[in-house]
């Protein structure tokens, strides 16, 4: 049983909050198995239900701060932390607010990263979560680009960043942006998963853009680890 399933995974979330999914789980498992969490100051950027930060707190982080723009999700994250019996400060606001509390030893993020185009949105069932939780702009990089460009400023010396996103959101671009700020950066975890409702709704468009081979309906999630040397 993975860390997330041992009591920190919320039993349910409201429709307007992102339900933790494979990306949440892969990020948690990668960060926890790295051994980088215990005793550290941790930030969870784009926290949603709070599951990632709660996992870090449950693993023994010294201090966890979560940042999230949706007031309903902030409420959920606070409630879920209380239910899990861990301390986590949850801040309402954009991920950039983390700069007020930096530096962090570890920064974790599962941001919105799915490439989107307006016309398909209404066909996506609400079980996928609210659009602001997954839509990452036309190339999926509306948050990924500024995040990769500035996360080094949030990290303490020897600090570590773990970032999860899809193969469709530009893995090499994330690596290059992170390396360009002086961090070492590599893909440290990969997982193939079947398309969920969002990518199923966008499959034909992704095929037209050549990001997706005709007929393929699985995506690879990746976790990037970036270290400040
Ligand atoms: C993919 S969900 C991930 C939620 C949670 N971390 C998880 O793994 O289950 C992304 C979250 O980012 C939030 N979000 C979107 N834009 C944001 C921003 N600029 N700053 C902070 N949070 C943001 C969304 O409301 C959503 O809850």
CA 200 to chain centre: 20
State the average pLDDT over residues 59-77.
97
146-159 burial code (b ≥16 CB/10 A, e <16): ebbeebbebbeeeb
Helix intervals (H) in 8-136: 22-33, 51-59, 71-84, 131-134
15 alpha carbon to ligand 1 midpoint, in Å? 14
How many residues in the chain? 229
Phi, psi of 209 (to 5 degrees): -80, -5
Beta bridge partners of residue 68, listed in sequence order: 92
- Residues 95-108: tens digit of each pLDDT: 999 999 999 999 99
CA 51/CA 217 separation, integer angstroms: 27
- pLDDT, tens only, 154-187: 999 999 999 999 999 999 999 999 999 999 999 9
Atom of ligand 1 nearest to the CA of 21: 9
Q: Which domains does the chain have, with CATH numbers?
A: 25-227 (3.40.50.150)
Mutation probe of ligand 1 site: the residue of 13, 28, 68 with most atoms within 8 A of C-beta: 68
Classify 161 as helix, strand or coil: strand
Q: Is the pLDDT of residue 211 over 70?
A: yes
List residues near ligand 1 (CB under 6 A).
18, 20, 24, 46-49, 51-52, 67-70, 73, 94-95, 110-112, 132-134, 143
């Amino acid at each position: 049983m993975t860390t997330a399933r041992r009591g920190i995974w919320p039993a349910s979330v409201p429709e307007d909050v992102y339900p933790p999914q494979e990306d949440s789980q892969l990020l948690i498992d990668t960060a926890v198995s790295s051994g980088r969490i215990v005793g550290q100051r941790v930030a969870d950027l784009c926290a949603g239900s709070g599951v990632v930060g709660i996992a870090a707190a449950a693993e023994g982080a010294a201090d966890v701060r979560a940042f999230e723009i949706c007031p309903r999700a902030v409420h959920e994250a606070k409630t879920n932390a209380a239910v899990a019996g861990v301390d986590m400060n949850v801040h309402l606001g954009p991920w950039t607010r983390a700069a007020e509390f930096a530096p962090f030893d570890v920064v974790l993020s599962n941001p919105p990263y799915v490439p989107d185009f307006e016309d398909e949105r209404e066909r996506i069932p609400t079980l996928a979560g609210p659009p602001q939780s997954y839509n990452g702009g036309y190339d999926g990089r509306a948050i990924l680009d500024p995040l990769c460009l500035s996360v080094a400023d949030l990290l303490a010396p020897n600090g570590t960043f773990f970032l999860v996103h899809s193969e469709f959101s530009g893995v090499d671009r994330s690596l290059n942006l992170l390396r360009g700020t002086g961090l070492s950066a590599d893909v440290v975890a990969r997982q193939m998963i079947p398309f969920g409702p969002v990518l199923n709704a966008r499959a034909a468009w992704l095929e037209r853009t050549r990001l997706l081979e005709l007929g393929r309906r699985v995506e690879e999630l990746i976790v990037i680890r970036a270290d400040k040397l």
